[in-house]
Amino acid sequence: MSTAIANPTDSGALVSAALLEVRSVAKRFGAVKVLNDVSLNIASGEFLTLLGESGSGKTTLLRLIAGFEQPSSGEIWMRDKRLDTLPPYKRPVNTVFQHYALFPHLNVRENVAYGLRVKGTAAREISGRVEEALRMVKMTEFAATRPAKLSGGQQQRVALARALVNRPRILLLDEPLSALDANLRKQMQSELKALQREVGITFLFVTHDQDEAMALSDRIALLRGGVLEQVATPRDIYTRPATAYAAQFIGQTNLLAAEIRDGWAICGALRWRSTEPNGPALFSLRPEAITQVSANSASAPGAVCFRATIRQQLYGGANETLDVDCGDWQFLRVRIPASQPMSGEFEFAFSSADAVRVRP
């Protein structure tokens, strides 16, 4: 994916490869500030997810881009045209709504054709494009059916086709999978990803489900309380979270409040090498980064070793999650591959590179 995209956590230059630019957008509803100085660039052809809890402002940002709300301040640009001054029906942007919003009085074909019809497209072109769209979402045999007779998953495909047939420059998806049950959700996730690859349109996806975000996205924009916490690829956001919130929201982690002294980070019974300047610092250490040292395996050079007592062991099928006590009630969560029930004191190790410094 294009690396030349501005990440607001860098102090970097903006590159004009961006398809959509959100410039210092803020949104207030009465006295409540829902979005606070958000700047974001979206590249052409990328799958970007807006991730956050409810109330984080992710849906509001989506609606601002779609045109159903106006920013209180800031601007939205698409290439060199200003977008936020346009009404929704003039924007080259289409939305897949959370509950699909299919027109109940039209059948599937008419629903999909709607956007083309209202713009006065020729009938022949409409039928061609509609058939193509239905084929893409595998709903051709339901063309004459009314939405009320379709299942949730089927309605969702129709909603997708209805949006995509208009060839928008950006497709906005507002938690489209949240109403589906778990199995169907997984299936739709891979279909969506494949579809995006095939069609090549930029997808802006909103969800509160971090697994979903990690699986689908080229980049994740994590929103918290109306502010962008971090924008990075799934891999980066997981291995190098910028803040404690990011580290805890995505995956599980141990937060270590350490003191740096002359090249050493000290946290309770743990010490590891660190290049950070002296002073207090917060570190994130993922549970799976901690391994159990057995009698025969030698720990890698530079590894930090420590002894800890197992207080709780939770079996998770493919792995075990251990709550271990490093002494003085300093608890760590450790994840190791599945083994036997264990008790007592054991030796554990982690690499100092895995302890990532995060902002509080």
Partner 1 sequence: MSTYETSRRAPVLVIYAICVFAFIYLPIAVLITYSFNGTGVGGFPPSHLTLDWYRQLFNDRAIWDAVLNSLLVAAASVALALTLGLLAALALDRATFPGKALFRRLVLLPLILPGIITGLSLLMFAVLVRAPLSLLTVFLGHGTALISVATTELFAGLQKMDRAQEEASLDLGATPWQTFWRVTLPALKLSIIAAGLLIFTLSMDEIAVTFFLIGRDNTLPLEIWGRLRRGITPEINAISTLIFVVSVGLIVIWYRLRARALRNAE
Does residue 66 touch partner 1 according to CB under 8 A?
yes
Euclidean distance between CA atoms 156 and 145, whole angstroms: 14
Structure tokens that stand for 258 in this block: 């350490």
Does residue 30 touch partner 1 according to CB under 8 A?
no
Binder of partner 1 out of 55, 74, 88, 152 (CB under 8 A): 88
The torsion angles phi and psi of 175, rounded to 5 degrees, stand at 45, 55
Which residues is 356 bridged to in the sheet? Answer: 284
Does residue 329 touch partner 1 according to CB under 8 A?
no
Segment near partner 1 (CB under 8 A); pick from 8-16, 66-74, 216-224, 324-332: 66-74
Does residue 87 touch partner 1 according to CB under 8 A?
yes
Here's the x/- map for partner 1, 122-161, by CB under 8 A: it reads as --------------------------x-------------
CB closer to partner 1 out of 159 and 228: 159
Q: How many C-beta neighbours within 10 Å does residue 338 have? A: 10
Binder of partner 1 out of 6, 40, 51, 163 (CB under 8 A): 163
CB closer to partner 1 out of 162 and 219: 162
Binder of partner 1 out of 13, 31, 118, 318 (CB under 8 A): 118
CB closer to partner 1 out of 120 and 344: 120
CB closer to partner 1 out of 162 and 335: 162
Helix, coil or strand: residue 61: helix
Q: How far is CA 148 from the centre of its chain?
A: 31
Helix, coil or strand: residue 324: strand
Segment near partner 1 (CB under 8 A); pick from 91-99, 149-157, 209-217, 326-334: 91-99
Binder of partner 1 out of 8, 57, 115, 226 (CB under 8 A): 115
Cβ proximity of 45 and 202 under 8 Å: yes
Q: How far is CA 28 from the centre of its chain?
A: 24
CB closer to partner 1 out of 99 and 193: 99
CA distances (Å), 155 to each of 41, 112, 232, in order?
Answer: 31, 11, 32
CB closer to partner 1 out of 64 and 232: 64
CA distances (Å), 222 to each of 216, 240, 245, 319, in order?
Answer: 14, 13, 10, 28
Touching partner 1, residues 166-225 (CB under 8 A): 166
Q: 3-state DSSP helix/strand/coil percent for the chain, to nearest 5?
A: 30, 35, 35
**Taking the complex as a whole, how short is the minimal distance between the CB of residue 163 and partner 1, in angstroms?**
8
Q: Which residue has the tokens 């690499």?
A: 351
Binder of partner 1 out of 104, 302, 337, 360 (CB under 8 A): 104
Among residues 212, 157, 220, which one has the least CA distance to residue 185? 212
- Residue 256: CB partners within 8 Å, gap ≥ 6? 265, 267, 270, 282, 283, 284, 285, 355
Segment near partner 1 (CB under 8 A); pick from 65-73, 233-241, 299-307, 319-327: 65-73
Structure tokens that stand for 142 in this block: 């339901």
Binder of partner 1 out of 33, 99, 167, 271 (CB under 8 A): 99
Residues near partner 1, by CB under 8 A: 66-68, 87-90, 93-95, 97-99, 101-105, 114-115, 118-119, 148, 162-163, 166
